[in-house]
Chain A
Amino acid sequence: MRDFNRVVRYLAYVLELLVLFMLQETPGLLPAVFGVRPVLIFPAVITIAMFEEELPAIAFGVVGGLFCDFGLSGIMGFHALVLAALCFFVSILSKVYLQVNLMTAVITGIWTIGLTVCAQWLFLYYFSYSMPGYAFVHHYLPKYFYTMIFVPLVYLLNRGLSQAVRTQEN
């Protein structure tokens, strides 16, 4: 029964990532602020990692990352790699050092999403295109702050999902 509930929880997470991917990709659904739109997958995988063990955290980091890679039409595996590594460390930190609550979720979101956006800028923009400073200030920074707004919402969603299935397990 416990295994079945775990499978249900994992399926729910995959479905959540798929829906969030669709929401972030659908033109005109989320309004653009300063010409940018949020990346909902980032807060989703980070908050999932806070509730899960290391291995599932890595797996959801990879799944979410592959969605981002597919959406961007860039090199498949870049976001998957970055998010897998971050989710692994977030999972360990949440298990050993942190209490999982809204505050720690926001703090974790600040550094993890910051690192991901900086990695995007460095590897996908800096070495390929001109005016990296302008791009960082006018695209990557607004996107980072816009994405951060969704961290509490996605955290509450994942906490609800995690608790609902775990209650059934208990």
Chain B
Amino acid sequence: MKEFFKSSSFKVLLITIVVLLGLIIFTASAGGSFLASLLGFVSSPMQGVATTVTENVTEFLDLDGLSKAELKDMVTRLQDEKAQLQQRLADFENIKQENEQLKELLEITSERPENKSLAASVIGRDPNDVFSGFSIDKGTLEGVSVGDPVITSRGLVGIVTQAYATTSKVSCLLSEDVKVAAVCIERQESGVITSDIMTASSGLLRFNYLSGDTQLKEGDIVTTSGAGRNYPEGILIGEVKSVEKAENDISKYAVVQPCEDLSAVKDVFVIVSFPGKGEEIPDVDLSSQPQGGEDAE
């Protein structure tokens, strides 16, 4: 046994453990590391190719499994849809033109700059991630930074939690780490969107901190409120599925069905800049506030 502890391989193991402990402490305190960026450089191009090939093969197999009649139906349906969309596009162009003319007439200028976003593809989903996080093919070299919101055409899906040179890691709304200030415009009620392992495994979210007499009902739309300035306001999050009583207090929470299937997202947009991003929230001088809880609110 003594020989085992004196062997050179055991000493190498000890040195390796010490070095790795150092790496753990370094990355835990400093965030992203050169090593992670290097691994991203090596793996991201191949992951991108593998993802594209898989998507194409899956699509091909899906189509191959359909019968002739089903394919005919699909073509007819798509042609109808195309005709409808073309009609809507023509209407849209007319309305857009009319809108521009009215703006000029009334001298309305765009008061708020638009969100600046970047298209990205999902190239990886780690099996070790309990909350369905994913990797995208854009990193700091393209302007992505930690904290950038990630959306699809349907709505919010998550936030960038690690940004390496050519890739980034996104924690999706199902993660317990992600908390989003949200609001239901119709009912004028606000709260916080969170999740836990139980709701995440069903692909659902919790809209927490609603008052006990909440008016929220099934089918109400929940969007980002913009409070905290971590997310732009007005981004769709999902639809209320049910309203339940909270386990620990008299408040209620709503179960929200996300607008997007968060565990199967393929193409996303990273909002690299939006109005109010990074601005500090002004400190509220409590001493100057009027006395009394209701007034202070």
Contact = CB atoms under 8 A, between A and B. Distances in A.
Given A22-B50, A138-B197, A27 B9 contact: no
B21 interface: yes
Interface string A110-139: 000000000010001100111100110011
A135 B130 contact: yes
Contact of B46 (A22, A71, A120): A22
Contact of A84 (B17, B24, B27): B17
23 contacts: A22-B50, A25-B43, A27-B51, A28-B58, A54-B13, A58-B9, A58-B16, A62-B16, A71-B124, A71-B126, A72-B126, A73-B135, A73-B162, A76-B36, A77-B27, A81-B16, A81-B21, A84-B17, A84-B20, A88-B13, A129-B196, A130-B176, A134-B197
B27 A38 contact: no
B127 A37 contact: yes
A134 B27 CA distance: 29
A38 B17 contact: no
B140 interface: no
B280 interface: no
Contact of B43 (A54, A68, A70, A138): A70
Given A62-B20, A70-B43, A72-B128, A129 B197 contact: yes
Interface string B1-14: 00000000110110
A85 B13 contact: yes
* Those 6 A-B pairs whose CB atoms lie nearest each other, nearest first: A73-B169, A54-B9, A77-B23, A25-B124, A37-B127, A77-B24
A139 B176 CA distance: 15
Contact of A25 (B35, B55, B125, B266): B125
Contacts of B58: 28
B133 A73 contact: yes
Contacts of A124: 128
B50 A88 contact: no
A26 B35 contact: no
A78 B24 contact: yes
A138 B16 CA distance: 33
A18 interface: yes
Nearest to A87: B13
Contacts of A131: 196-198
Given A26-B47, A27-B54, A38 B127 contact: yes
B13 A22 contact: no
A70 B127 contact: no
B246 interface: no
Question: Is chain B's interface secondary structure helix, strand, loop, or mixed overall?
Answer: helix
Most chain A CB atoms below 10 A, which of B128, B196, B266: B128
A21 interface: yes
A134 B196 CA distance: 10
A60 to B, nearest CB: 12
A131 B200 CA distance: 12
B197 A27 contact: no
Interface string B153-189: 0000000011000000100000010000000000000
A55 interface: yes
Interface in A63-120: 66-78, 80-81, 84-85, 88, 92, 120
A29 B126 CA distance: 12
B43 A139 contact: no
A77 B20 contact: yes
Contact of A130 (B162, B196, B266): B196
A48 to B, nearest CB: 16
Nearest to B266: A27
A26 B128 contact: no
Contacts of A129: 130, 176, 196-197
Contact of A26 (B12, B27, B51): B51
A39 to B, nearest CB: 5
A24 interface: yes
B23 A22 contact: no
B28 interface: yes
Interface in A1-46: 18, 21-29, 35-39
Nearest to B28: A75
